[in-house]
Amino acid sequence: MSGKILEKEELSNLSFEESLKQLEKIVEELDSGTMDLEKAIEAYEIGTKLKKHCEKKLKEAQERIEKIEVDEDGELNINPIDIKE
């Protein structure tokens, strides 16, 4: 993965889980301290793209989550869930 910069199309095709797995692998590689400087910089750039992609996927999922409430009259209301950051 850290051998090349991800293209926008490649990134958009990755699921959240795939992106997170690749991001975790990059973090492990960087933490090991065994990469040369150029590869470390490239891995960091890829990691940054993966992080943003994961955040985008989480935001999209959050927007889809709804909560069902029963009001005082016994009627069901479906509202977006309010998740504080």
* Domain definitions of the chain by residue range: 8-80
User: For residue 66, what pLDDT is reported?
Assistant: 74
User: For residue 77, what pLDDT is reported?
Assistant: 83
Percent helix, strand, coil in the chain, to 5, is 60, 10, 30
Q: Write the pLDDT tens digit of every residue in 26-76.
A: 999 999 999 999 999 999 999 999 999 999 999 888 878 877 778 888 888
Record: fold of 8-80: Helix Hairpins (1.10.287)
Element (H, E) at 26: helix 16-32
User: For residue 2, what pLDDT is reported?
Assistant: 43
The amino acid occupying position 7 is E
User: For residue 72, what pLDDT is reported?
Assistant: 87
pLDDT for 85 beyond 80: no
Closest by CA position to 31, among listed 21, 44, 45: 44
User: For residue 21, what pLDDT is reported?
Assistant: 95
The answer to whether the Cα torsion of 72, 74, 78, 83 is positive or negative is positive
